[in-house]
Structure 1
Amino acid sequence: MNILADMLLTEPAPMAIWATLMLLTLPALVVLASPHNVRNPGRALIDTVGFLRRRAERRDAERLRRIEEAVQAARYADEVGVAAEQAGYAAQRWQGHWEAAGERVDAAWQAWRAADARWARSRATAAFGTPYTPKTPMEYAYRERFLHRAVQAAAVRGELPVAAVADALHGRNGWDARLHPAVQETVVLQASAAHLRRVHERAVEAERMAWQDSLRAGRNRDSLAREAAVATAHAEAVRHLIPLPGTAAAAFRPAFA
């Protein structure tokens, strides 16, 4: 018995022959296993064939299921890999937006500080008073033209909003063309400093939002990268279950749209 067992375990041909004999004798064993089957061997053989067919169908269904799961795993790994790559590009773009916003904050800070310094110097000069000028219609016309030109020039340089030009033309929001040109200059510089301060505040807020967007994009990139790594590892583990094109086993591979 030990010699027979060793031969069956080490030699594939006797094992195949033995399995074939067992399969061929299975109907006889089924018939002899029950008195009812002995009395009706034809019915027993039909039942045996049906049992073997159902078993083969279950085996094929299980194989198809595993192949389908392997194909789905490979497809998901490819899709999440593409998504992770796109998330990486998006994170780079948001990083660039944040850096650009930081540069705008620095520029706005410098412009505000320079405007504030000019306003401080103008206040110091105005402390000495303004020269006397006769208040004639020509003088008022000159003062009006001076104010309009000063406001327009500041708006062109970005030191005042465009709306300030219309306000100065119509004497709204504190613009008074009757003031002495020296006083008007101080008023324009004050308005410029206030406007550039607000520009700086908006730039700081925009930079903060860009930083948050960059953080979210980075977290999304990292999350997808981890998910892609897990999906790729799983797909590689079950890739051997997918039949190669042109092989007989490929006939079991399900068709996917």
Structure 2
Amino acid sequence: MNVVAEMLLTTPAPAAIWATLWILTLPAMLLLASPQAMRNPWQTLCSTFSVLRERGEKRRAAQLEALAATQFAEEVRVAADRAALAAERWQERWETASDEVAIAWQAWLDADARLRTRLAGAAFRTPWSAQTPTEYAARERFLHKAVRTAADNGWLPAAAVADALAGRAGWDARLHPLEQELVVFRASAGHLRDRYERAVAAEQAARHDAELARRTSDSLRQESWTASARAAGLRRRLPAGSGIVVPAAEPAVAAVWR
């Protein structure tokens, strides 16, 4: 017996012949082992081949299931990686929006301080001067320069310069320069307040988007771990020599979110 076993293990041809003979004699052995099979051998053979066929179909179905699970795990992993990258970008956008809120808030505070200082000076009576053409031209130049300077500093929108040159939107060159300066400071404070409110709204929207992207990334990452674990459990059902690599079911390091 040891000699036969050694021959079968070392020489592939006799082993293949032995396996073929064993498969061919299996139906006969089943027939001889069952009295019912001896009375109806054809039905027994059909039942035997039916069982073998069902086993083969189950094996192929298991292989297809393993292949589908592996492919799904890979697709979910790719989606999770992309979602994580998108979440990082949304997080950066939120941080940028938060910085813009702080800048807009400080700019509004500075504008409000300038306005308060000018209002305190306006408590004194405005000097009187005659409305001569020369005086009007000087006041007009002063107004244009003040509005242009405020726009260059970011206190007013660029459209304010065109409005001042055209004498519309409340810009009146007939006012005394001190009054014109007060109008510029008041308009600047209003503009910077509006910009701050827009920055706050943008920051809130960016925060919502960042949190949504983070939840989506976490959900996909969890689904990726689950799919990878299932694919790893079905790895033994993959066809031999398929070369398919099952994604590792190891959790990645979670990012720190504020």
TM-score surpassing 0.5?
yes
Is residue 33 of structure 1 aligned with residue 36 of structure 2?
Answer: yes
2:69 is aligned to: 73
- Change beyond 3 A, Cα 1:100–1:246: closer
Residue 227 in structure 1 maps to residue 223 in structure 2: yes
- Who is 2:116 aligned against? 120
Output the CA distance in 1 between the equivalents of 2:196 and 2:242.
Answer: 67
Give the CA deviation at 1:55.
Answer: 2.2
* RMSD, matched Cα: 2.6
Letter in 2 for 1:91: A
What pairs with 1:103-252 in structure 2 (closer than 5 Å)?
A: 103-245=99-241
TM-score, L = length of structure 1: 0.79
The percentage of aligned residue pairs carrying the same residue is: 46
Quote the Cα distance in structure 1 between the aligned partners of 2:144 and 2:48: 100
Residue-pair matches, total: 225
Q: Which has the higher helix share?
A: 1
Structure 1 outlier segments of 4+, above 6 Å: 16-22
Letter in 2 for 1:170: A
**Deviation readout 1:134-163 (Å, 9 max, x if unpaired):** 211011111112111211221122111122
Superposed displacement of residue 126, structure 1: 1.6
Report the residue type matching 2:49 in the other structure.
Answer: R
Partner of 1:56: 52
Q: Deviations over 1:30-50 (max 9, x none)?
A: 7x638xx85xxxxx5444443
Letter paired with 2:188 = S
Q: 2:249 corresponds to which residue?
A: none
* Alpha-carbon separation, structure 1, partners of 2:240 and 2:118: 84
1:36-87 deviations in Å (ceiling 9; x for gaps): x85xxxxx54444433333222111111100010111111111111111111
Deviations 1:193-224 (A, max 9, x none): 00000000000111111111111011111111
Rounded Cα–Cα distance in structure 2 between residues aligned with 1:179 and 1:188: 12
Query: Secondary structure of the equivalent of 1:33?
Result: helix
The structure that has the greater radius of gyration is 1
- The answer to whether the Cα contact below 8 Å between 2:70 and 2:228 also exists between their aligned partners in 1 is yes
SS in 1 for 2:240: coil
Counterpart AA for 2:28: L
Tell me by how many angstroms 1:97 deviates. Answer: 0.8
